[in-house]
Structure 1
Amino acid sequence: PGGAAGASGLRAAQRHGNVCRSGSGGSPRMTLRLDLLRHGETELGGGLRGSLDDALTELGWQQMRAAVANGGPWERIVSSPLQRCARFSEELAQRLSLPMQLEPGLQELHFGDWEGHSPAQLMETDAEGLGLFWADPYAFTPPNGEPVIDFSTRVLNAVARLHKAYADERVLLVSHGGVMRLLLAQARGLPREQLLQVVVGHGALLSIQVAADGVITEV
């Protein structure tokens, strides 16, 4: 977005194949380096964007360009298909002459009826639900939203596909705050209640690596 059960549950997801283990024939594969870039500021500002496809503001473009100015080198770019990620990825891929692909599994958590609303607005309309979600996002799902456990499986499966295809490469992954929080919480071994406490600002660039045995660590 308890306790040791949350962290062990994510590790169990890795052991059951949600994060790639080894190559064919049981031979280990090399680690995949993922540089995680969150999109910049968007037109919805502080609202819960989720599946809404709002565009970057000019500041948002500037934040992302500044973040990658001294980054890399990368072999390829993988992006969420939502335009706040994909349009920047297309621009950067063209500028750096890199292959770029869209990965639907890296889209943001779908917030259901909460999409487009700010936390301040939700405090007026659904304070109880917001409090439950903040306390343990795995235990409470926004009305008509995507359960965080399903979101976790979706994201980790996407990482598994990337490891299988690009192990030993360094890849720029352009995505969302929720996706990055999930992967960083996994890397840091945090209990599930602390998912939403992971700080990921607009234009943040952080790195993880996925080992041959599926273990995710922060770089």
Structure 2
Amino acid sequence: MSVTTIDLLRHGETEGEGVYRGQLDYSLTRMGLEQMRAHLKNDLPWQQIITSPLNRCASFAEELSRDTGLSLTYVPGFIEMGFGEWEGKTAEEIQKTDQQRFFAFYEDPIRNTPPQAESLMVFQQRCITAWQDMLQQYQQRHILLVTHAGVIRLLLAHILSMPLEAVFHLDVPYACLSRIEVYLDGKNEFARLLFHAGHL
């Protein structure tokens, strides 16, 4: 049986605070970069870095790769959910122009996709496919995955067998660090969450 360890790291504070960033390519603020750097200690456990290609994740991953010599891989499957017409807008703006759809999305996100957005089920399948591909490619390694709140929620829901409707009950603050261990025995997989919103 092989054991693979994955540390999920959400990006830090980002420009465009308060808007639905989704797949728009906002950058980290100076504070956001420092929030992520706070996890760096002398004895880093990682053997591989994987990142969403969006700048708010990739900029930190690239810096870490340069400083440590760790291999870096960009995986588009770990990009944030696409919010369609809501991207770049605040919740208050959306409520003023599309109140019915806004509240319907949070009441039942599976059946109420924002206009022109990626559905939650499509987003879920994209993330799980990228997760499974990563586990096959990097077995028995300790991976740092730098990604987004939505991706982390869906991956945690997947390994904890939570219903998809419950993902917004998971709090994933800026620079949140979570650790998952995955045990693989042939085609059988068992995963457990070791900590969430923790520190090394």
Q: After TM superposition, is the score higher than 0.5?
A: yes
Deviations 1:135-159 (A, max 9, x none): 2222211100001111111111111
Contact 1:136 1:192 in 2 (8 A): no
Contact 1:42 1:60 in 2 (8 A): yes
Contact 2:2 2:140 in 1 (8 A): yes
Shift of 1:200: 0.2
Equivalent-residue separation in structure 2 for 1:131 and 1:206 (angstroms): 29
Alignment match of 1:48 (pick from 3, 13, 20): 20
Aligned residues: 191
1:195 matched to 2:167: yes
Q: Percent identity?
A: 39
Equivalent-residue separation in structure 2 for 1:125 and 1:68 (angstroms): 43
The equivalent of 1:218 in structure 2 is: 193
**Following superposition of structure 1 onto structure 2, how do residues 89-108 of structure 1 map, counting pairs within 5 Å?**
89-108=61-80
Q: AA paired with 1:218? A: L
Structure 2: 5+ residue stretches without partners? 195-200
Contact 1:39 1:202 in 2 (8 A): yes
Q: AA paired with 1:147? A: S
Q: AA paired with 1:106? A: F
Structure 1: 5+ residue stretches without partners? 1-28
Contact 2:154 2:164 in 1 (8 A): no
Contact 1:132 1:140 in 2 (8 A): yes
Equivalent-residue separation in structure 2 for 1:169 and 1:143 (angstroms): 40
The equivalent of 1:174 in structure 2 is: 146
Equivalent-residue separation in structure 1 for 2:74 and 2:14 (angstroms): 19
Seen in structure 2, the aligned counterparts of structure 1 residues 214 and 136 have a Cα distance that, compared at 3 Å, is: farther
Shift of 1:76: 0.8
Equivalent-residue separation in structure 1 for 2:11 and 2:113 (angstroms): 24
Aligned Cα root-mean-square deviation (Å): 1.5
Q: AA paired with 2:90? A: S
Identify the range of structure 1 (174-183 vs 138-147) with the bigger mean alpha-carbon deviation.
138-147
1:127 matched to 2:102: no
Shift of 1:191: 2.1
Contact 2:12 2:33 in 1 (8 A): yes
The equivalent of 1:34 in structure 2 is: 6
Shift of 1:120: 2.1
Contact 1:186 1:216 in 2 (8 A): no
Q: AA paired with 2:61? A: S
Deviations 1:164-217 (A, max 9, x none): 111111100000000001111223332222111110001111111233223432
The equivalent of 2:40 in structure 1 is: 68
Q: Secondary structure at the match of 2:166?
A: helix
Equivalent-residue separation in structure 2 for 1:126 and 1:215 (angstroms): 42
Shift of 1:97: 1.4
Q: Secondary structure at the match of 1:174?
A: strand
Contact 1:67 1:204 in 2 (8 A): no
More strand by share: 2
What TM-score comes out, normalization by structure 2 length?
A: 0.90
Contact 2:10 2:173 in 1 (8 A): yes
Q: Which runs of 4+ in 1 moved over 4 A?
A: none
The equivalent of 2:197 in structure 1 is: none
Which structure would you say has the larger RCO, counting Cα contacts within 8 Å and 6 or more residues apart? 1
Seen in structure 2, the aligned counterparts of structure 1 residues 72 and 185 have a Cα distance that, compared at 3 Å, is: farther
Q: AA paired with 2:69? A: S
Shift of 1:69: 3.6
Equivalent-residue separation in structure 2 for 1:125 and 1:65 (angstroms): 39
What TM-score comes out, normalization by structure 1 length?
A: 0.82
Alignment match of 1:83 (pick from 48, 55, 59): 55
